[in-house]
Amino acid sequence: MKIITKTKELKNILGSINNLSESIGLVLTMGNIHAGHLSLIKEAQNNNKLVITSIFINPTQFDNDDDYKSYPKTLDQDIVKLKSSNCDLLYLPTVHEIYPKGLVIEKSTLKYRNILCDGHRPDHFDGVTTVVNTFFDIIKPKNSYFGEKDYQQMKLIDEMVKIKKIDVNVVSCLSIRDKNGMSLSSRNSNFTQKQSEIFESLAKKIKLLVKTLKKNNLKANFNQFKKELSKININKIDYLEIRDEKNLEITSNHHHARLFIAVFIDKIRIIDNFKLY
């Protein structure tokens, strides 16, 4: 696996490979590589001649500096995992490489806004789409792979690609879930023992809720569910909503709908979504 830190060097390598730009698969990460990331790499390997993974903790998508600084950093372990996965190339740029003129963000998409995470983190997705657009421009992949855990993010990136007429396929991949049913997340590596216990209790309650919603197609009693969460010390909830997965509008019809959640265990934000069909 080649490790490249300079954008110019990466472009030279890609430019020297005749016609390979037609089959580059890209997996964008912020590191702390887990089985979810590795599943994206495997999917990319199945459909592309060359697979590039990036590790870049993007400062413009964080709500505050403390959150940015505390994001888990496990580069040495990440490199070992990526080499074991037979990834072809790791792009490991500095902030200056990605933002040579200083930190800037562009508001490129207006669809799927002011709801879910965007309603609670107003500038977050502008930071995401800006940096993803930069990576697409540098690497020019044929396909780029995203997990469904960050479902709204995936929809926004797909919309940005359409608006900007970028020649890349945004490939949606199923979330890889822990044995408790929750999607794997890098932030979960920051859990203390007590927080891990709360997370396990949360997983059990959500699993039961999803089972009930699937079975009865009932209108969810989220007020009661919030009371259940408060019993396990989850008191900050950004949203618990059922939305159509195609347009992300609130729906009472569970056909093509998902339960979207965002809650906090202390200061650690947990997001996930669950099919209701």
- Quote the tokens at residue 41: 């790499």
The domain locations on the chain are: 2-173, 186-275
Q: Which pLDDT score, from 0 to 100, does residue 16 have?
A: 78
Mean pLDDT of 158-186: 97
Strand order in the sheet with 50-55: 2-4, 89-91, 50-55, 24-29, 143-147, 169-173
2-173 and 186-275 share one fold? no
Position 168 confidence tier, pLDDT thresholds 50, 70, 90? very high
Domain spanning 2-173, CATH architecture: 3-Layer(aba) Sandwich (3.40)
| Summary mean pLDDT of the chain | 95
Q: How does 231-253 read in b/e, with b if 16+ C-beta sit within 10 Å? A: ebebeeebbbbbbebeebeebee
178: phi then psi, degrees, rounded to nearest 5:
-70, 170
Q: For residues 277 and 255, is the Cβ–Cβ distance under 8 A?
A: yes
Supply the pLDDT for residue 161: 98
- At 163, give phi and psi (nearest 5°): -65, -45
Res 147: pLDDT: 97
Mean pLDDT of 131-137: 98
Q: pLDDT value at position 20?
A: 55
Question: In this predicted model, what pLDDT tens digit does every residue of 193-248 receive, in sequence order?
Answer: 999 999 999 999 999 999 999 887 667 789 999 999 999 999 999 999 999 999 99
Q: Which residue has the tokens 């490939």?
A: 171
Please report the pLDDT score of residue 194 as a whole number: 97
φ/ψ bin of 266: left (φ > 0), alpha (ψ from -120 to 50), beta (otherwise):
left
| Token representation of residue 163 | 């608006």
Q: Quick check: is 96 catalytic?
A: no
Report the alpha-carbon distance of residue 227 to residue 273 in Å, rounded. 20
pTM for this model (two decimals): 0.94
212-220: long-range pairs with CB below 8 Å, 24+ = 213/242, 213/254, 213/259, 213/276, 214/254, 214/276, 214/277, 217/254, 219/252, 220/259
Res. 13: pLDDT tops 60: yes
Catalytic entry in 37, 96, 120, 254: 37
CATH of span 186-275: 3.30.1300.10
pLDDT of residue 217: 66
Confidence class of residue 21 from pLDDT cuts 50, 70 and 90?
A: low
Q: Mean pLDDT across the stretch 51-56?
A: 98
